[in-house]
């Protein structure tokens, strides 16, 4: 779950971390009102769940209210890597003397938390990593021990942070680590972490991704979930509790289990088609879930055929077959459906489906055959033999 910059800064502020004052605005008028309250100059910043805002023209300094209005109307509606800007963060301008980079994330291969710190902030950290890997100081943190004051101070030294601000930066990082752990974040990134000409350390940006699995111990996450960027199809699927990711093609995909669903998407591509989505209906496949899945896919105007790929494990073939039959009764499907049913009691399941087969509902013996048939029906290009 990605947070907007301003949501991340709110979270930082709750830990007493220094962030500039600001206000959210969704119109040029709001932006002007916010700037009036904050005092000029301000920075008008696009709030989107993606990087590269600056380059795309999504961050502008405004010295007067006319500039605020102008920048706000330019930035609202801007398309930044496919994300349309619908909200702005109007922030008091900061007087930047130094720019650093700081982040905490989980290093899956080390199975520990990883802190990264660099005295060369303000630019893409990947660029720094390429040019001068030594400019990024890394620290692995054992989740059982946490980040000690001493280890943190040494890390700051290793990053070549100037002595004059080293203590202040270390204190900020210790608190930031606590926020990262308390919030169950997958990622907390501050770029830039600045030193003002008055010598104050300030978190000028925030990129925070929270672990959706930790919602049970964070009541405030529901509010963040409501501001996630999803396309219409994803929104509809999310509301029905389905694991759905929208793609660009014409073959609707339904499968049980994330691995099998991913594999189905792969196979559709391999036989020359383009999947319209990834949809995992989970271990079972009852009529309710299957109806919901078919409904979501049917509402996608790009879909020309639907591939249902089910492997029965504990769930038996006849239950799955009944689920499909019931679902096709409940939902009016516009596109032809191709079914591959395998696994436990697949024979019984196929027998149940047999009388319902038609041009609109066909069955194929294997995953590959089913994918080929679905791609053929979608008319999505050449089908390899």
Partner 1 sequence: MSIFVDRNTRVVYQGLTGSQGRYYGLLNRDYGTQVVAGTNPRKAGTDVDGVPIFATVAEAAAATGATASCVFIPAPGVRVAVLEAAEAQMELVVVITEGVPAHDEAFLFNKLRRDHPDVRLLGPNCPGIITPGQCNIGITAGHIAKPGGPVGIVSRSGTLTYQALYELQQQDIGVTTCVGIGGDPVPGTSFIDCLAAFEADPETRAVMMIGEIGGSAEEEAAEFIAEHMTKPVAAYIAGVTAPPGKKMGHAGAIVSGGKGTAAAKMEALAAAGARVGQNPTEAGDLMVEIVAGL
Binding piece for partner 1, criterion CB under 8 A, among 152-160, 253-261, 333-341, 350-358: 253-261
Told to judge if 295 belongs to the known catalytic residues of this protein, a careful annotator would answer no
* The only residue of 72, 170, 367, 380 in contact with partner 1, by rule CB under 8 A: 367
In the complex, the smallest distance separating the C-beta of residue 314 from partner 1, rounded to whole angstroms, is 5
Taking the alpha carbons of 195, 197, 200, 203 in that order, is the dihedral positive or negative? negative
Q: Does 148 bind partner 1 (CB under 8 A)?
A: no
Cα distance between residue 271 and residue 274, in whole Å:
9
The phi, psi pair for 301, rounded to 5°, reads -65, -20
**Type and span of the H or E element at 374:** helix 367-378
Interior angle at CA 187, CA 48 and CA 98, nearest 5: 80
Question: Residue written as tokens 């339904």?
Answer: 254
DSSP annotation string for 199-216:
S-EEE---EEEE-GGGGG
Residue ranges in 266-285 that form contacts with partner 1 under rule CB under 8 A? 266-267, 269-270, 275, 278, 280, 283
Contacts of 193 (CB under 8 A, 6+ apart): 99, 100, 101, 102, 121, 169, 172, 201, 202, 203, 204
In the complex, the smallest distance separating the C-beta of residue 16 from partner 1, rounded to whole angstroms, is 22
Interior angle at CA 227, CA 223 and CA 209, nearest 5: 85
In the complex, the smallest distance separating the C-beta of residue 263 from partner 1, rounded to whole angstroms, is 4
The phi, psi pair for 180, rounded to 5°, reads -60, -45
Q: Does 217 bind partner 1 (CB under 8 A)?
A: yes
Q: Does 184 bind partner 1 (CB under 8 A)?
A: yes
Q: Does 368 bind partner 1 (CB under 8 A)?
A: yes
Residue ranges in 303-332 that form contacts with partner 1 under rule CB under 8 A? 311-314
- Identify the active-site residue in 98, 100, 101, 319: 101
Told to judge if 29 belongs to the known catalytic residues of this protein, a careful annotator would answer no
Q: Does 41 bind partner 1 (CB under 8 A)?
A: no
* The only residue of 16, 126, 223, 359 in contact with partner 1, by rule CB under 8 A: 126
Q: Does 257 bind partner 1 (CB under 8 A)?
A: yes
Q: List b or e across 179-200, with b for residues whose CB sees 16 or more CB atoms inside 10 angstroms.
A: bbbebbbbbbbbbbbbbbeeee
* The only residue of 93, 168, 262, 302 in contact with partner 1, by rule CB under 8 A: 262
In the complex, the smallest distance separating the C-beta of residue 342 from partner 1, rounded to whole angstroms, is 7
Q: Strands of 226-314 (E only): list them.
A: 243-246, 251-255, 277-280, 305-312
Q: Does 381 bind partner 1 (CB under 8 A)?
A: no
Q: Does 245 bind partner 1 (CB under 8 A)?
A: yes
Question: Residue written as tokens 């009852």?
Answer: 286
- Identify the active-site residue in 120, 189, 319, 376: 189
Residues that contact partner 1, how many (by CB under 8 A): 50
Which residues are at the interface with partner 1 (CB under 8 A)?
Answer: 106, 108-109, 111-113, 126, 142-144, 181, 184, 186, 211-214, 216-217, 243, 245, 247, 255-263, 265-267, 269-270, 275, 278, 280, 283, 311-314, 342-344, 366-368
Question: Active-site residue numbers?
Answer: 101, 189
């Amino acid at each position: 779950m990605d947070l907007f910059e301003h949501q991340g800064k709110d979270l930082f502020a709750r830990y007493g971390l220094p962030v500039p004052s600001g206000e959210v605005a969704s119109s040029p008028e709001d932006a002007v009102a916010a700037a009036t309250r904050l005092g000029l100059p301000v920075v008008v910043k696009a709030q989107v769940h993606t990087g590269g805002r600056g380059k795309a023209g999504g961050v502008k300094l405004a010295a007067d209210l006319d500039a605020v209005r102008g920048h706000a109307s330019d930035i609202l509606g801007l398309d930044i890597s496919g994300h349309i800007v619908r909200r702005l963060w109007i922030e008091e301008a900061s007087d930047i003397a130094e720019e650093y980079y700081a982040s905490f994330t989980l290093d899956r291969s080390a199975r520990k938390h990883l802190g990264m710190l660099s005295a060369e902030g303000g630019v893409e950290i990947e660029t720094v990593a390429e040019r001068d890997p030594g400019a990024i100081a890394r620290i692995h943190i054992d989740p059982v021990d946490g980040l000690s004051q001493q280890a943190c101070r040494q890390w700051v030294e290793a990053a070549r942070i100037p002595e004059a601000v080293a203590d202040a930066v270390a204190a900020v990082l210790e608190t930031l680590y606590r926020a990262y752990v308390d919030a169950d974040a997958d990622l907390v990134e501050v770029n830039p972490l600045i030193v003002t000409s008055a010598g104050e350390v300030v978190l000028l940006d925030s990129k925070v991704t929270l672990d959706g699995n930790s919602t049970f111990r964070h009541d405030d996450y529901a509010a963040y979930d409501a501001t996630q960027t999803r396309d219409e199809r994803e929104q509809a699927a999310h509301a029905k509790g389905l694991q759905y990711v929208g793609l660009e093609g014409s073959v609707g995909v339904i499968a049980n289990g994330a691995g099998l669903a991913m594999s189905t998407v792969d196979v559709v591509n391999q036989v020359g088609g383009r999947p319209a989505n990834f949809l995992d209906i989970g271990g079972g496949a009852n009529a309710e879930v299957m109806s919901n899945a078919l409904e979501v896919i049917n509402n996608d105007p790009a879909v020309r055929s639907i591939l249902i790929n089910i492997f029965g494990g504990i769930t038996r073939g006849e239950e799955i077959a009944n689920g499909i039959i019931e679902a096709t009764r409940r939902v009016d499907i516009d596109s032809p459906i191709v079914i591959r049913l395998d696994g436990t009691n697949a024979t019984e399941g196929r027998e149940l489906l047999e009388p319902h087969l038609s041009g609109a509902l066909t069955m194929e013996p294997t995953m590959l055959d089913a994918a080929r048939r679905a791609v053929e029906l979608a008319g999505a290009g050449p089908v390899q033999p």
